[in-house]
Amino acid sequence: MVEKLQAEWDNDLFTQVQQQFENAAQKLSLDENIFNRLRVPDKALLVSVPFRLDDGSIRVVSGYRVHHNDTLGPYKGGIRYHEKVNLGEVAALAMLMTWKCALVNLPLGGAKGGIQIDPNPLSRNEIQRMTRRFTSEINNFIGPDVDIPAPDMGTNEQVMAWMMDTYSQIHGYAIPEIVTGKPVIIGGSLGRSKATGRGVVYCILEALKAMHQTLDTQTTVAIQGYGNVGSAAAEELAGLGARVFAVSDVTTGIYHEEGLDLNKVQSWIQKNRFLEGFPEAQSISNEELLQLQVKILIPAAAEDVITKEIAQNLKCEMIAEGANGPITLEADKVINDREDIFVIPDVLANAGGVIVSYFEWIQGLQNFFWKEVEVNQRMNEIISHAFQTIYQFSQDKKVTMRMAALMLGIDKISRAMLTRGFFPG
């Protein structure tokens, strides 16, 4: 019997992720008790976060942390600052983290958190005060052996540094292992800041290999979202010889028919924060970017951007999901029916971030730090092996890459749960 438990976190993204889980569970003939447990998170914390603005007034915003499942190890997942963050979105992303960690064989579970605010208008000091108060509000819910946050959309390594410092001040000694994705100077890992984007590219290289193709100057790319994930993927691909035709951010998209000069784009962003006004390219909308005629499309911004209508007009050959949940359920169906676009699903494509977060966590626990080349090589081995396993499984079972990835991840959790047994029995 399917329990009706999800009302409080019921929203579009949660329904989409839960539906994906249910489809995979059906194909796996998943144990009914495991099914009912995994389709909802373990627990959730909702906090009100009061913080002082620079004008002296106090603003109160909503903060969230959701634990989905910790059968394989401590909860792990990012913290997002975005005006649309809500309990359902965070719960959905926590569920995806559970499958992702299992899929790439990390001894970690799935969590996610965030604050419902647009951080762009806030000053650095305001973001710092909000982050510190949020950390103190969730202090009892996180811990280096319990739940380890990381950056996500709207947060960065500076935010992680403030979280680490606040948690350490509360507990009375330095606890760098409480977060990952922090600056190298306070125990971050070399290679972490670019890990998610690099992992996307390692998956693209594996996909091309599976199609008996290679990456060269004829490989054209469009990337939605020029933040942590998108800019690192762009840089890596350009370094390998591909031509990045278009990138975008929340303000605009920019396009150049011979390929963008990424050094110039990067310097512009450093000076101006946003792409708007970049002089040496044509400006296009985010919707137009998604429908460009390119070989590889990388959505690396928000969820649900590829709708059914956009899916019908896609002209790319491959989609590598840097973002979580960029394709709606309906659009996914359209793309599967078209059979001319190879999709590398989010749980695999963007797993490079959590893999190197795991490296950072264990380096911190051991106080023994690795060289960047070692970090990149080990991440490449793990993500490429995961790609090959999923690809083979998808071929053998005649299912999509997304279905194969979900089935393998969910099956692993299910076997672990059955092995651990049920408490209190």
Position 286 contacts ligand NAD (CB under 6 A): yes
Position 154 contacts ligand NAD (CB under 6 A): yes
How far is it, in rounded angstroms, from Cα 349 to Cα 356?
A: 14
Q: Are strands 109-116 and 75-82 parallel, antiparallel or unpaired?
A: parallel
Q: Which of 51, 64, 134, 226 binds ligand NAD (CB under 6 A)?
A: 226
Position 224 contacts ligand NAD (CB under 6 A): yes
Q: Which of 20, 69, 166, 248 binds ligand NAD (CB under 6 A)?
A: 248
Tokens standing for residue 9: 């976190």
**In whole angstroms, how close is the CB of 287 to ligand NAD at the nearest point?**
9
Residues touching ligand NAD, count (CB under 6 A): 24
Name the one range near ligand NAD by CB under 6 A: 51-59, 228-236, 375-383, 385-393: 228-236
Q: Which of 204, 229, 260, 407 binds ligand NAD (CB under 6 A)?
A: 229
Position 228 contacts ligand NAD (CB under 6 A): yes
Q: Are strands 282-284 and 318-320 parallel, antiparallel or unpaired?
A: unpaired
Position 98 contacts ligand NAD (CB under 6 A): no
**In whole angstroms, how close is the CB of 232 to ligand NAD at the nearest point?**
8
Position 380 contacts ligand NAD (CB under 6 A): no
Q: Nearest to ligand NAD by Cβ — which residue?
A: 227
Task: List Cα–Cα distances, 141 to 37, 178, 326, 386, 413, in angstroms.
Answer: 20, 11, 29, 31, 22
- Within residues 193-222, the interface with ligand NAD by CB under 6 A covers 196
- Within residues 335-354, the interface with ligand NAD by CB under 6 A covers 350, 353
Position 189 contacts ligand NAD (CB under 6 A): no
Position 153 contacts ligand NAD (CB under 6 A): yes
Position 35 contacts ligand NAD (CB under 6 A): no
Q: Which of 174, 184, 262, 302 binds ligand NAD (CB under 6 A)?
A: 302
Helix pair angle (352-366, 87-103), 10° resolution = 80
Cite the active site residues: 112
Position 135 contacts ligand NAD (CB under 6 A): no
By beta-carbon proximity to ligand NAD, the closer residue of 326 and 417 is: 326
Q: Measuring CA to CA, which residue among 374, 357, 79, 383 is closest to residue 192? A: 357
**In whole angstroms, how close is the CB of 355 to ligand NAD at the nearest point?**
10
**Site residues (vs ligand NAD, CB under 6 A):** 151-154, 196, 224-230, 248-250, 286, 300-302, 322-324, 350, 353
